[in-house]
Structure 1
Amino acid sequence: MSAPAVVPSRARRDTRRRARRVPAFRLVGGTLVVWLLLAVASVAWWPVYRDDGMVVAAVTAVLVGSLVALLGAVFRLPTAVVAIATIAAFTVTGVPAAVPGEANGVLPTGQGFLDLFSGVALGWKRLVTISLPVGTYEALLVPFFVTLLVATVTSVSVATRASRQELASIPALVLFAAGVVVGPSRLDTSLALAVVLTGIALVWALTVRHARRAVAVAETIGARVTVTRSVVRPALVGTGTIVAAAVVATGLGLVAPPTTARTVARTDVVKPFDPRDYVSPLSGFRAYEESTEADTTQLRVTGLPENGFVRIATLDTYDGVVYRVGGTDGASASGTFERVPTSVDVRGVSGTTVHVGVTVDGYSGVWLPTVGDLERVEFAGAAGERERSAFFYNASTRTGAVVGGVQDGTRYDLTAVVPDQPTEEQLATARPGTATVPAARNVPDAVRDTVESTTTDAQSDGAKLVAVVQALQRNGYVSHGVGDDRVSRSGHGADRIQELLTSPLMLGDQEQYAVAAALMSESIGFPTRVVLGFAAGGDSGSTPSSSGAAGTTTFRGSDVTARIEVDTAQWGWVTLNPNPTVREIPKEQEQTPQPVTRPETVVPPPPVDQQDQDQQTPPQSDRNTPDQPPLWLQILLAALPWVLGTLAFIALVLLPFGVIVLLKRIRRRRRRRAATARGRIVGAWDEYRDALLDRGHDVRAESTRREVASSAPGDGGTGLAALADRAVFGPSEADDRTADRMWEATDTAIGDLRDGRTRRERIRTAVSTRSLRSPAPGAAVARVGGALRRRVGAGQRRRGAGGDYDVRRPDERHGGPDEDRGNL
């Protein structure tokens, strides 16, 4: 048998170069489809930014990423080179595109580089702890830019270089999923986008598959095939089916949308500002009424509407000791504070837009005084930038906070919407709303008794609400327990509210009346919360405390007050003032004493001395506050999620390669443990043949073992081929010892193939899928074996190297097993 012709090395290189040349229609077509997929996927990020800067960043990332990927495809650059080029492109274009505020035109700056690279790691956490939309605030565009850039490079590279182009849609799907995860909790257009994106990916995969099949048929028959019949017509049929399914899926999603809120990253992220870490601001109410604070200026406000109210904080959780913010476990809506990058969405609020300027002059605390429903805040002064980055806002309770606290001299401008309020007659027809607030605990019995006694003539829930508020205003007397006021205990625990509602003379101030009204409103069925703030005259019915220049309202400590907000089905949250007007308190002897039948311990005696503001912390205010762990443990816990996330990402990337190595291990184990010695020998040869394939050698499926060995490097392949052919076609059956020798020789030959190769080449060989995708090598062997067996059946003789021999096996010649087996 003549040896096969050896192709000259130069001709072989030319053939490989022609085979590697990427057709122009694949470059253009694949790139355009990828652009369409990425454009649709990027729409999922629009609710996060809602700014033209996102469009600029998206166009830059797509164009630069496509250029890098196309250059890599045309010049067949290695993956490492493409990755380095991607990082270089990100460095050059990242600052102008993703951090435009730190760019000097189109040139990056040092601070811009710092924000750019820190944004890759930290931008994700910042993005899910800030209210939406974020615009181009700080470096929050970096997560979108880097994700889109990597997705573009990966998709275009796969579409132009990989054997399966349809896999290029996966990065676009990942980009879409990332946008949904960091996006808002409401559904928005995610459902329709998901259907459209999936439909485009399926149509493209279907078209590419039919085109690949048409090319394979054309190469097999050696003639051209009709594109319309082989590609266009099947693709159109499949496209029609996909479009019909997409229409049905979209219709079902619109008709029967999910009933529960969507869980995204921002709904489960650790809160950057936890209001439970701070003492309830209502606990310090009496401190504003002290003689040293009552006449002290707290705030100066310009642009405040008539009878305006400045909110300090909204409290929705009562535990029988104190009204606080954030719920018992921090899971309520009032416990989630987010940073406000540009503005708050107030499109659903009906009211009057106001522009208010606030100057802090005496007031201090973590809670930022605001007006109405905040839309925008702009800090001024030397500390404006620091306060801006430390500002957090809760849109559900309209409460703002500045981490580190507000200090004298803080100046800021507010743009807000003051909601329209119903009249008292309209409020009598109100129905309870559907807002969720934590249920009050340890409510005193006097609350229920007072509601029953004051609402006997009321028929509706709204009428009952108006009745209890009017009862407090009519029967109550205001006393802060300071100066010449009648003794009135501070605090708003269950025992203090019980005392307020059962004493012969209802005596208290806004702290107690607001809490009592909130508990009674909630017992009627209205979701209720307490609001602490400043009002001109402090709800006392008097004239404003002070007025300065035209349009400027000065709030003093005596202007502090507390009100309630109830959620109604018709008007949403409505603010109510349950406080009595300041009037003369009757003399004690004029009151008819009522016998008290309850135990004396229910109402403890009043304290001898008034407590300072710092001493008014409720007894259980720190009950749920855990001890601070050591600093090293805090650092470890902070770094642990990033370490685990990085390891998980690396594991996810390495998972396909691990699966390939595992499949090869299983295949080798199965071959080496074949049931017969002959099967083990054939498996050893197949292992050697697969090793050649994985190392890039051209091994044709129809080649015989000798042909494969003749083109393989080294001399080990020739001996293996002869050994395997003799075991398969020889006159005697192989034994286990021969099989063991075959495997030892195979391992030696494969080891010789590794000599002279770099570590990178060995890794590439280990994860190569050529041997897994190649057709079974037994086809040619089966043809040769069948021909020999037909000749054996006809009783023919064949001349070998040592003369004539009978090709039938010994057991076929002698009717039994051969006892004279030769050693191989």
Structure 2
Amino acid sequence: MSAPPLAPARPRRDTRRQARRDARRVSPTRLTAGTLVVWLLLALASVAWWPVYRDQGMVVAALTAVFAGTVIALLGAVFRLPTAAVAVATIAAFVVTGVPAAVPGGAAGVLPTGQGLLDLFSGVALGWKRLVTISLPVGTYEALLVPFFVTLLVATVTGVSCATRASRPEFASIPALVLFAAGVVVGPTRLDTSIAVGVALTGVALVWALTVRHARRATAVARTIGAPVAVRRSVLRPALVGTGTIVAAAVVATGLGLVAPPTAARTVARTDVVKPFDPRDQVSPLSGFRAYEESTAADTTQLRVTGLPRNGFVRIATLDTYDGVTYRVGGSDGASPSGTFERVPTTVEVRGVRGSTVDVGVTVDGYSGVWLPTVGDLEQVAFRGPDAERHRSAFFYNAATHTGAVVGGVRDGTRYDLRAVVPDQPTDEQMAAARPGDAVVPSATNVPDPVRDTVDSTAADAQTDGAELVAVIRALKRNGYVSHGVGDDRVSRSGHGADRIQELLTSPLMVGDQEQYAVAAALMADEIGFPARVVMGFTAGGDSGTSPSGQGTGDGSGGSGTTTFRGSDVTARIEVDTAQWGWVMLDPNPAVREIPDEQQQTPKPVTRPETVVPPPPAEQQDQDQQAPPQSDRDTPDQPPLWLQVLLAALPWIVGTLGFVALVLLPFAVVLVVKRVRRRRRRRAATARGRIIGAWDEYRDALLDRGQEIPAAATRREVAIAAPGDAGTGLAALADRAVFGPSNADQHAADRMWDAVDSAIGHLRSGRTRRERLRTAVSTRSLRARRPQATTPGPVSSGARRPAGAPVGHGADGDYDVGRLAERRSGPDEDRGNL
């Protein structure tokens, strides 16, 4: 008696349809719980973005994005909308709500304007780069809220959709984790985000994953046994135990983070991004110092400043890199903190500075150059006039050196208002007790030996580093004479290279001007151990001991008075970093007095032979010979907006394509393996091998389609369970090829493969594109278990299994003669079915 045929398995398509119908009934509990958990996760993740904006506009953008994203996701879950529909709805919500929420300046009430929409879409591509090249916080400046808004909107839609309709709701925490990571990457270098926030976010995500996993397991058990299970025992108890473990680990991690916080600055995007303004491309303003003292420029008005305190100092630039040729900004490799200039959106955060706040108005009247004159530690700048918008978008600031720059330069008529903190300065007695600070400045190179000799000879009796510094500053003021080398002044060579500083310190008469004295003082302070830098700017009288060169209305004491600075008011000072007061500004310039006759002076003793200073590198000489900053250097025009958008979007497009290729790689490998397998089967060495390979191809197609085929099923059993009638004839022809009395020929093999191709095509008919795609990339046929093989040969139709012969598959994956005899399904029964 033949074995009973297997009952046809229920098609997986019907099972999936039933599962989809069951999934349409989303429980209110899941909708509510999933939405609330995602809200909590997004709220914690958004904390990482607060140091970036620090403005209530971020709260408005966050609420708008969360509300819109939640509505879209819930509608998609309730009505089971396809992914494409949810994506289109998300884009529509972004267009409608994006401008009022993320670009408030480009909205007409609650309606977007054309310019607002342009800023919105350009912000998606360009906002990320702008965000990491601008000083923080940015508030609602321009369209810089767009990166946060679009990220939060997408995270909300994705998170709520996963929590309410996905088979694994624990994945709903991934968008919040991505949002948190993005906030950290574009955030400040210091750790403003509390460690506890990151730990809390991770803890909530783990607790959520643990709870939904136990709930899913309890539901599966209830369906299996056909009875409800105890929620407390199957869900609450294990979830609480896991939650306790997570909380304990979170407490330990938070405690360690608070006890031993990171000491170094974080490496984030803004620390590695290429800045749009590089100070090393600019000529050192100190190289053009003498140009202000020329007879034609000395009496020319440069700046008019209102609200400046008495004896106030207007900073042009701070220089911290000396290479034996010139003092400049930015370090030799651009790694110095002074080389990082960022755009200022609204305000500059000033921390730990003790001083007085001043409001200053500046009008540029003759000065020109890329460096913007500022006062003290800048807090806020507001440009005025017809070019205000251009200047604001081109303004860059370095908080480490308190130096501002405008790409393209400023010129006559530029007006702006400053709010700044003027730091309190210690007295000379307090400076004598000062200790060197820990600020990092580039090491000076090619320093002439007389710098060290002068320190040794003038500060030999000093007991502390501060006393040595005060001694060398007093020596410069006492022994030095001021001459700019113009008009009837004593001959005084310009420049501040190593040879000029050596000449200043070794000549019988120390003759120079602020350019040389500031550089010599900075090098000597560095020799003592104080981090030092040179500051060039304007002050009344130019630090020369003369009366102010010009006062317009008022006396320069502050308030509403206007201080007029002319070319002769230019000066240079030094700043040294101290452990007690931070950066302190010192004036090393001697007062203007009559220069005695050089023949009446006794040459200074030199403690060692004069050192021949090696010539500076040719590249640096070329830099020193460049034109002074008074010669405007127009920057090239920026490319059009569409090109900027394209260039900014190109890395994202390439990255997206690379990510898609990486995701599709496993599926491509599956398709290639199946293709190679089919080709190997069709090109088998024998006709019997080709026929058996064709049957295996048909059997694998059934497996990939979702057909349940037991591992011990014969070809006839497989054909009966398969949809349609084509499988019966294929099984009969394969059995004849294996167990028939004669060898199969190539013509039969060709007919077998044609029939298999037709049968596989029939299997694909009536199925959706998605089902055909899932069948093509299915790995069930690759993972199917194959019984151990024996090698059958062609036998007669009446053959029987010898005693002790194994019952198993043949070399081509089918049962041997003994197995076929037991089933009593001889090959002749279905001979005419093909």
Query: What residue ranges of structure 1 are gaps of 5+ in the alignment?
Result: 605-614, 623-627, 780-791, 796-806
- The separation in 1 between residues aligned to 2:459 and 2:243, in whole angstroms, is 66
Which residue of 681, 687, 698 maps to 2:700?
Answer: 687
- Residue 296 of structure 2 is matched in structure 1 by 292
Return the match for 1:574 from 584, 587, 603. 584
Counterpart of 1:157, as a letter, is S
Instruction: Give how far 1:136 is off.
Output: 0.5
Change (3 A) 1:592 1:442: same
With 404-413 and 706-715 compared, the bigger mean Cα shift is at: 706-715
Residue 193 of structure 1: how far off its partner (Å)? 2.5
Q: Is structure 2 residue 430 aligned with structure 1 residue 426?
A: yes
CA-based RMSD: 4.2
1:556 partner letter:
R
How far has the Cα of 1:291 moved from its partner?
Answer: 0.8
Matched ranges for 1:672-751 at <5 A = 684=697, 687-693=700-706, 715-717=725-727, 719=729, 746-751=756-761
Q: Give the structure 2 partner of residue 643 of structure 1.
A: 650
Does the 8 Å CA contact 1:475/1:506 hold for their aligned counterparts?
A: yes
Q: 1:356 is matched with which residue?
A: 360
Letter in 1 for 2:363: T
CA offsets per residue over residues 239-277 of structure 1, 9 Å max, x none?
A: 111111111122222222333321111111111111111
* 1:445 equivalenced with 2:449 (yes/no): yes
CA distance in 1 between counterparts of 2:753 and 2:469 reads 90
| Secondary structure at 2:84 match in 1 | helix
The residue aligned with 2:500 is 496
CA distance change for structure 1 residues 654 and 58 in 2, over 3 Å: closer, same or farther? farther
Q: 1:803 corresponds to which residue?
A: none
CA distance in 2, matches of 1:265, 1:732: 76
Among 636, 652, 661, the alignment partner of 2:659 is 652
Relative distance call for 1:80 and 1:707 in structure 2 (3 A) is farther
Counterpart Cα distance in 2 of 1:32 and 1:498:
73
**Pair 1:22–1:292, CA change in 2 (3 A):** same
Contact 1:472 1:579 in 2 (8 A): yes
After superposition, the Cα gap between the structure-2 partners of 1:502 and 1:723, relative to the gap in structure 1 and judged at 3 Å, is farther
CA shift digits 1:680-719 (9 cap, x unpaired): 68864552234323xxxx8698998889867866544555
Shift of 1:590: 1.9
Contact 1:360 1:407 in 2 (8 A): yes
SS of the residue aligned with 1:185?
coil
Provide the C-alpha distance between the structure 1 equivalents of 2:776 and 2:550, rounded to a whole number of angstroms: 82
Deviations 1:736-770 (A, max 9, x none): 9999987775554334444577766654654578x
CA contact (8 A) 1:688 1:746 kept: no
Give the equivalent residue in structure 2 for 1:618.
624
1:240 aligns with 2:247: no
SS at match of 2:542: coil
- TM-score normalized with structure 2 length: 0.83
Q: Note the 1:501-650 alignment, pairs <5 A.
A: 501-550=505-554, 551-593=561-603, 618-619=624-625, 642-650=649-657
Q: Note the C-alpha offset of 1:777.
A: 8.6
Give how far 1:370 is off: 0.5
Deviation at 1:68, TM superposition (A): 1.4
Q: Tell me, in whole angstroms, the C-alpha distance in 1 between the residues paired with 2:778 and 2:96.
A: 34
Matches within 5 A, 1:65-76: 65-76=69-80
Seen in structure 2, the aligned counterparts of structure 1 residues 446 and 660 have a Cα distance that, compared at 3 Å, is: same
The amino acid that maps onto 1:450 is T
**Partners of 2:165 and 2:751 in 1: how far apart?**
42
Change in 2 beyond 3 A, CA 1:433/1:6: closer
The amino acid across from 1:237 in the alignment is: V
* Larger relative contact order, structure 1 or 2 (CA cutoff 8 Å, min sep 6): 2
- Give the number of aligned pairs: 774
Q: Which residue in 1 is equivalent to 2:458?
A: 454
Q: What is the CA-CA distance between 1:401 and the residue it aligns to?
A: 0.6
Equivalent in the alignment of 2:345: 341
Letter of the 1:412 partner, please give it. Answer: Y
1:251 corresponds to which residue?
255
Deviation larger for 665-674 or 106-115: 665-674
Q: Which residue, 175, 190, 206 being the options, matches 2:179?
A: 175
Distance 1:384 1:630 in 2: 18
Distance 1:593 1:701, change over 3 A: same
Cα distance change of structure 1 residues 750 and 247 upon mapping to structure 2, 3 Å threshold: farther
Further displaced range: 754-763 or 174-183: 754-763
Distance (Å, rounded) in 2 between the aligned partners of 1:71 and 1:726: 59
Gaps of 5+ in 2: 555-560, 616-620, 629-634, 788-800, 805-814
- The aligned residue for residue 631 of structure 2 is none
Question: Of the candidates 384, 387, 408, which is equivalent to residue 380 of structure 1?
Answer: 384
Which residue number corresponds to residue 802 of structure 1? none
Does the C-alpha gap of structure 1 residues 15 and 281 become closer, same or farther in structure 2, counting only changes over 3 Å?
closer
Quote the residue 1:196 is aligned against: 200
Q: Which deviates the most, 59-68 or 741-750?
A: 741-750
User: Which residue does 2:812 correspond to in 1?
Assistant: none
Change (3 A) 1:259 1:745: farther
Instruction: Look up the SS of the partner of 1:470 in the other structure.
Output: helix
Paired position in structure 2 for 1:316: 320
SS at match of 2:543: coil
Q: Deviations over 1:573-604 (max 9, x none)?
A: 11000000111110223223569996898699
1:328 aligns to 2:332 (yes or no):
yes
Is 1:662 the counterpart of 2:669? The answer is: yes
Quick check: 350-359 or 311-320, which moved more?
A: 350-359
C-alpha distance in 2 between matches for 1:230 and 1:603: 82
Query: Per-residue displacement from partner, 1:598-643 (whole Å, max 9, x unpaired)?
Result: 6898699xxxxxxxxxx99614899xxxxx99999xx999977743
CA separation of 1:713/1:379 partners in 2, compared to 1, >3 Å: closer, same or farther? farther
Higher mean Cα deviation, 408-417 or 509-518?
408-417
TM-score by length of 1: 0.84
How far apart are the structure 2 equivalents of 1:49 and 1:766? 49
- Change beyond 3 A, Cα 1:766–1:474: farther
CA 1:748–1:324: 2 relative to 1, 3 Å: farther
